[in-house]
Amino acid sequence: MLKKIILISTMSLMATLSFAETGLMPTIASDISVKAATVDATDMGPLGQANPAPNQISTEVKMDIINNSKQNALLVAATSPVAQKVQLHTFVRKDGKAVMEQIAHVDIKAHTADDLSFQGVHVMLIGLSAPVTQGQQIPVTLIFADGSHLNVNAVVQ
């Protein structure tokens, strides 16, 4: 009986390692979906004036992020080829003013949807390589604490 238990345990461990090596293990990103991913256009400033140099331009990515999993998901970073830096941000009150502040992660509770929008928690694209214009699709990769990634195309509005 002990040999049977050891054999079953060994086979189970080998199957788990095999799945992990091939990337077939379930990941947090596989249980996450995104709706309505948008980016604000940066090609024109206030009153129709051209914006400053591209590397000085920043904009935010807004989205509805849905966790379909039984466990919480921790969004820890994001990347995009169109920006020098991509950060997770939120607004905080300092000296009576609402100011943006970088945060380390976004906790997305199990079986919930979070609205990542400019006035709350959002993804910030900093130092764009070029202005982004209406209709353009911006690739953004969301990175979760388990190392899994979710690729999103945000439409510029």
Tell me how far CA of residue 85 lies from CA of 10, 79, 132, in angstroms: 44, 7, 15
> Residue 59: what residue type?
T
Average pLDDT in the chain: 80
22-57 pLDDT, tens digit per residue, is 455 568 899 999 999 999 888 655 444 555 555 558
Average pLDDT for residues 3-31, to the nearest whole number? 51
Q: Which two tokens stand for residue 31?
A: 């249980």
pLDDT bracket for residue 4 (50, 70, 90)? very low
Query: Above pLDDT 90, what percent of the chain?
Result: 55
**pLDDT given for residue 21 in this prediction:** 46
Tell me how far CA of residue 64 lies from CA of 25, 56, 154, in angstroms: 25, 27, 11
Pairing of strands 149-156, 137-144: antiparallel
Residues comprising the chain, all counted: 157
User: Which residues does 92 contact at the CB level (< 8 Å), separation at least 6?
Assistant: 98, 99, 101
Name the pTM for this structure: 0.76
pLDDT bracket for residue 105 (50, 70, 90)? very high
DSSP state of 147: S
Contact in structure between 35 and 127 (CB atoms under 8 Å)? no
Average pLDDT for residues 74-96, to the nearest whole number? 92
pLDDT bracket for residue 146 (50, 70, 90)? very high
pLDDT bracket for residue 123 (50, 70, 90)? very high
35 CB burial (10 A radius; 0-12, 13-18, 19+)? exposed
> Residue 81: what residue type?
P
Query: Above pLDDT 70, what percent of the chain?
Result: 74
User: Which residues does 71 contact at the CB level (< 8 Å), separation at least 6?
Assistant: 28, 110
Predicted confidence (pLDDT) at residue 18 exceeds the cutoff of 70: no
- First and final CA of the chain: distance in angstroms? 65
The more confident residue out of 1 and 117 is 117
**pLDDT given for residue 3 in this prediction:** 47
Dist. CA 132–CA 87, nearest whole Å: 18
